[in-house]
């Protein structure tokens, strides 16, 4: 599949939906505004979709591009990257990030919060500039995460920041009356040694700390779905999900809308569920305050959600993780880790490093 230099697409299976034409771009200063979401869905005629993203924070921007396009099969060999030089800066440094984890642990011990997801970035300048199509092509072939995306973050499709990535985490999908979510929480870096890798996976599945962290997320999603759905069915316990660099605990959750014609669209469901404790924390307000205090303005669209919706209300939204924002010769990567009682700062540094490795590999940094 030949991609344009700055593709607009979303892939969730063996094919990618690639936009051929942008009909209109919808922006809002508040991506959580339900009226805006309903306006986007109501404007979509048959055969068109809106592909876009919501920011992490409440009251932060959202953008959706109304497009025509088609599902296209993924094929062909992995594309080789051009030779480049990279200037890479950690922000914060690993040492400063470990201090942030300690600050969260102090808040947990004081009873202010029970879980906070805290993140760090890599800022990269490349020469010559990275080409978005190169990265997306490699993501589509290697599929380090099921949900591959490329979304311009401004109305201009020719330049400006572009959100790209391969998320392993389904926030929500809606197909008719069928609703699905697959939250991930509780993680451990993978090992290149098969025996050690299996040991780490088994240890994760038995970890009381990680199981407790995972339960926060499942409970929050089930509670939110019960407000608008029936037949909400979480699994009896999490399963293991493997990506290229990390083992995750995962819980597929299903539910049903009584009446799809009057029930919330996939975009409205994404607004209702986001941010889950998988990227925020518990309690939500206190965790959001801690994130803002410790991270500052690192996130923007990182740890938000990205996906598509059509005029019937069907669609798919993934959590914006294993992602990068590319803008000319600059690229920023982001990764976070859930901090709960018993978390170890050095282990969280290693976990975020493993999560960053997904995008450093396809970008040629490692």
pLDDT at 156: 86
- What is the pLDDT of the chain when averaged over all its residues? 95
How many secondary structure helices (H) and strands (E) does the chain include? 8, 20
pLDDT digits (tens, 9 = 90+) for 134-172: 899 999 988 899 999 999 999 988 899 999 999 999 999
Half-sphere exposure of 237 (CA within 13 A, CB side): 9
If 0-12 CB within 10 Å is exposed, 13-18 middle and 19+ buried, where does residue 159 land? exposed
Tokens of 269: 């469901």
Q: Where are the beta strands (DSSP E) in the chain?
A: 9-11, 15-28, 48-54, 62-73, 85-91, 115-127, 147-152, 162-167, 170-175, 178-182, 184-189, 230-233, 239-242, 246-250, 253-256, 281-282, 305-310, 315-319, 323-327, 330-340
Q: Name the more confident of 6 and 1.
A: 6
* Active-site entry in 14, 78, 131, 169: 169
Catalytic residue check, 213: no
Tokens of 114: 């029970």
CA distance 19 to 110: 50
* Active-site entry in 107, 115, 348, 351: 115
* Nearest alpha-carbon partner for 235 in 211, 252, 216: 252
Please tell me the CATH superfamily of domain 9-75+89-363, with its number: Anthranilate synthase (3.60.120.10)
φ and ψ at residue 186, rounded to 5 degrees: 95, 110
Place 1 in a pLDDT band, splitting at 50, 70 and 90. low
Tokens of 298: 């690192």
Catalytic residue check, 169: yes
If 0-12 CB within 10 Å is exposed, 13-18 middle and 19+ buried, where does residue 156 land? exposed
Tokens of 358: 């997904």
The residue extents of the domains of the chain are 9-75+89-363
* Count, residues in the chain: 366
Of 66-75, 186-195, 283-292, 354-363, which gets the smallest average pLDDT?
A: 66-75
pLDDT at 82: 83
Q: Among residues of the chain, what percentage have pLDDT more than 90?
A: 89
pLDDT at 75: 62
Yes or no: say if 163 and 325 are a contact pair by the CB < 8 Å rule.
Answer: yes
Yes or no: say if 280 and 291 are a contact pair by the CB < 8 Å rule.
Answer: yes
Q: Name the more confident of 58 and 191.
A: 191
pTM of the predicted structure, to 2 decimals:
0.96
CA distance 345 to 102: 7
pLDDT at 99: 98
CA 239 to each of CA 249, 253, 288, 307: distance values in angstroms, whole numbers, following the listed order: 6, 12, 28, 24
């Amino acid at each position: 599949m030949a991609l344009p230099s700055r593709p607009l697409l979303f892939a969730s299976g063996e094919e990618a939906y690639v936009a051929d034409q942008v009909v209109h771009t919808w922006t809002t200063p508040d991506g959580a505004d339900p009226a805006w979401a309903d306006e986007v869905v109501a404007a979509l005629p048959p055969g068109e979709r809106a592909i876009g993203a919501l920011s992490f924070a409440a009251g932060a921007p959202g953008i959706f591009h109304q497009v025509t396009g088609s599902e296209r099969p993924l094929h062909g060999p992995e594309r080789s990257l051009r030779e480049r030089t990279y200037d890479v800066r950690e922000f914060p440094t690993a040492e400063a990030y470990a201090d942030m984890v300690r600050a969260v642990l102090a808040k947990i011990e004081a009873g202010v919060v029970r879980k906070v997801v805290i993140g760090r970035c890599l800022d990269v300048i490349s020469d010559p500039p990275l080409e978005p199509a190169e990265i997306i092509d490699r993501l589509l072939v290697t599929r380090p995460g099921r949900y591959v995306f490329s979304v311009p973050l401004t109305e201009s499709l020719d330049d400006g920041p572009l959100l790209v990535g391969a998320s392993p985490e389904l926030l929500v999908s809606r197909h008719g009356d069928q609703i699905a979510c697959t939250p991930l929480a509780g993680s451990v870096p993978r090992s290149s040694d098969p025996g050690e890798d299996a040991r780490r996976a088994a240890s994760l599945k038995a970890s009381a700390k990680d199981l407790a962290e995972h339960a926060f997320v499942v409970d929050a999603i089930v509670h939110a779905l019960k407000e608008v759905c029936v037949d909400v069915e979480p699994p009896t316990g999490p399963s293991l999900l493997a990506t290229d660099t990390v083992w995750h605990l995962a819980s597929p959750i299903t539910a049903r809308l009584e009446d799809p014609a009057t029930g919330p669209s996939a975009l409205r469901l994404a607004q209702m569920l986001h941010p889950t404790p998988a990227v925020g924390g518990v309690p939500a307000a206190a965790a959001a305050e801690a994130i803002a205090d410790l991270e500052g303005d690192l996130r923007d669209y990182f740890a938000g959600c990205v996906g598509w919706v059509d005029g019937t209300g069907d669609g798919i939204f993934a959590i914006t993780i294993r992602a990068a924002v590319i803008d000319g010769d600059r690229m920023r990567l982001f990764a976070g880790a859930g901090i709960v009682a018993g978390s170890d700062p050095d282990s969280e540094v290693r976990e975020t490093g493993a999560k960053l490795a997904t995008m450093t590999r396809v970008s040629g940094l490692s």
